[in-house]
Structure 1
Amino acid sequence: MDMIREAEAADKQQIYNLYKMLVPNSKKMNVLEEQIDFIRRDPKNFLFVYDENGEIFGTLTLNICLQALHGLRPYGVVENIIVHENHRNKKIGHKLLRYVEKYCKSIDCHRIMLLSNSMRLQAHQFFEREGYNGSVSKGFKKYL
């Protein structure tokens, strides 16, 4: 049975393996069980996984951010979305994003934003097919 659920500490190694596919050359990656638990307990932050019979084939992070611009309406930020390279084109990414969108609508979010590495052109095409507009804003990052 496949399902989307919040990650648990026991998922650490499978999440790590997915992140290695996302950023294979990262020397700073450090997936911690206690951080997974901390995120799970936080009502504004989510680490979702796509679980198929105990195997995790996809994950993403959703952060709910407060703002003053649109009354009481927050917005969502999606980060670190990855589907296992052997399980792409099976609608896993689509299901993860639909799950997030349904949740964000349920709490009256104004919008959902996501960032994607500028070199991941296939991911950009996927996000555009999912209704995300890559020409509305330009993303900036500053690593600390």
Structure 2
Amino acid sequence: MQHDFAVRIANRGDLKALINIYPQLQPDDPALALDDAERIWEQISHYPGSGIFVGLVSDILVSTCTLIVVPNLTRGGAPYGLIENVVTHAFHRRQGYGQAVLRAAIASAWNSRCYKVMLLTGSKEPTTLKFYRDVGFEQNKTGFQIRQIPARA
């Protein structure tokens, strides 16, 4: 990892870079207009504890994930965290940036009193599964989903 690497929560000024990195996660998704991205970013920012975490090398966005903190009426009212949209730019993979961004999101979830943090991956790639295990995630539950948009191949 380079010395000029930093992780922080995204701001409105990061939206163009986010729009540019997300196709590496879902290449077939339709492009998102900046106006739409601004509206969605505003919605995410209203969820206490939630945010889009970005990893930057020399102020260039190289990695990101989204944390949503969900209020909860069980577990003594402790919320839980959901992580989505984990992606590192192809030229910057296997350098620790993705793990650093995930660790920052997890730490933020703990600071928000979350009792657990969950994520799903459709990947069966051993390297992807190892990536999540190396950050501390356990593959110990059965996940179900119902989709309106088809899963990627």
TM-score bracket for the superposition, by shorter chain length:
0.7 to 0.9
For residue 113 of structure 1, report the CA deviation from its aligned partner: 0.1
The answer for the alignment partner of 2:18 in structure 1 is 15
Aligned to 2:97: 92
CA–CA distance in 1 between the matches of 2:104 and 2:139?
A: 21
Equivalent position SS for 1:71: helix
Q: Percent identity?
A: 24
Give, as a single letter, the amino acid of the residue that structure 1 aligns with 2:133: E
**In structure 2, which of residues 28, 46, 52 is the aligned counterpart of residue 47 of structure 1?**
52
Task: Name structure 1 gaps, 5 residues minimum.
Answer: none
Secondary structure, counterpart of 1:125 in structure 2? helix
Cα deviation code 1:77-110 (max 9, x no counterpart): 0000101111011111111121122122222211
Q: Which amino acid aligns with 1:117?
A: G
User: Closer, same or farther in 2 for the Cα pair 1:76/1:139, shift >3 Å?
Assistant: same
Structural RMSD (CA):
2.0
| Alpha-carbon distance in structure 1 between the residues aligned to 2:144 and 2:127 | 18
Within a 5 Å distance, the mapping from 1:1-144 to structure 2 comes to 1-27=4-30, 29-30=31-32, 32-143=37-148
Q: Distance in 2 between matches of 1:82 and 1:125?
A: 15
Distance change (3 Å), C-alpha of 1:126 and 1:102: same
CA offset at residue 115 of structure 1?
A: 1.2
TM-score (norm 1): 0.86
Aligned AA (1:76): G
Structure 1, 101-110 or 34-43: larger mean CA deviation: 34-43
> How many residue pairs are counted as aligned between the two chains?
143
Contact 1:21 1:85 in 2 (8 A): yes
> More deviation in 36-45 or 11-20?
36-45
Gaps of 5+ in 2: none
2:32 partner amino acid: N
